[in-house]
Amino acid sequence: MPIGSIWIAAALAEQAAPLAGVRVTVLDETGVVVARLETDENGTAVQTGLAAPDRSYSLDEGNTSVRPYAVYDLVAEKEGWQTVRLGGVQVFDGQETVARLQFLPADAAVATAGIAAENNVTIPPHPLFSGRGGSGPAPAGNCPQGRVLTEVVVPKTITVHLGRPTETARNVTVPFQEYIATVASGEVYPTWAGRCFPRRTG
């Protein structure tokens, strides 16, 4: 039977300090508990042997009828800390899914409705499966010379507008590596490593 795994990392929000002793419940789509874990001194725990669809579904670039991954929910609890719920965690055959959980103190002044809501996150369906994936239009040619860099520059952070260009939305600054990983995860499945696909032409 095809299986995948989830690697869980629990840490204090914004400080990246690991949080040991977090009790994590893993549930399947129907709400049935499939595992109970506890993070170690490094704030990590791993659940292996999670059922997932055969990887062949994710290798079929045009597949939008059979979901190529299983979905699990995580509920993470530790006394004195706000409970974190992460829904829609995608598990692929033969792959390890990374779930980073950030915790705030239960009695902190920052425990407002807005911040508490961030502790209840549901990951939407993968863009490739939902039909929202794929790259945007190719860059326009003949860019003005003044706007083309002469060497590659990799920034440490990037500011992202959380909406369409003309939409009123919040701007957030995130690590560039995290941004690239997030964007790439919407363009490919993790099972695509080392595979080549013909470029779409229309």
Whole-angstrom Cα distance, residue 202 to residue 189?
21
Examine residue 180 and state whether it is found in any structural domain, yes or no: no
Contact status, residue 192 vs residue 58, Cβ threshold 8 Å: yes
Number of folded domains that form the chain: 1
What's the whole-model pTM score? Answer: 0.70
Q: For the segment 64-89, what is each residue's pLDDT rounded down to a tens digit?
A: 789 999 999 999 999 999 999 999 99
Residue 30 has pLDDT above 70, yes or no: yes
Whole-angstrom Cα distance, residue 82 to residue 171?
25
**Cα Dmax for the chain:** 59
Examine residue 191 and state whether it is found in any structural domain, yes or no: no
What is residue 3's three-state secondary structure? strand
Examine residue 45 and state whether it is found in any structural domain, yes or no: yes
Which CATH number covers residue 88?
2.60.40.1120
Q: For the segment 107-154, what is each residue's pLDDT rounded down to a tens digit?
A: 765 555 455 546 788 988 888 887 765 544 444 445 554 455 566 667
